[in-house]
Amino acid sequence: MIKGIDDIQQASKDSIEQAMKSVEAMNKGIQALAVETADYQKKSYEHGAAALEKLMAAKSVENAVEIQNEYLKATYEGYISELTKIGSMMTDFAKDAYRPFESVFGKLPK
């Protein structure tokens, strides 16, 4: 009977440790996403400000349209690139958060 209680206590301890590792991985992932998002916002703002300066210095309507088109193309490509990067980061951080539980789910009867 005591062995059964010891097994239950050890299983509880293991579960808590795995949950803490998972929470730690999630926390690191969320922090990385926050840093990445802040960096992207800063770059986006700087890019927009530079484009506005160029637009204000345009000598003709054609030149202004060209500057605007370049800005929109670069902004779109940067946005798609950032979405891809964030999607990859989220996938990696979800895998890291799940990793502590792999051993538990591997032990479950099928």
Identify the domain containing residue 13 by its residue range: 2-107
Question: Collapsing DSSP states into helix, strand and coil, what is residue 57?
Answer: coil
CA 44 to chain centre: 17
**pTM: predicted TM-score of the whole model, two decimal places:** 0.72
Q: Convert the pLDDT of each residue in 22-68 to its tens digit.
A: 888 889 989 999 999 999 999 999 999 999 999 999 999 999 999 99
Tokens of 21: 């590792």
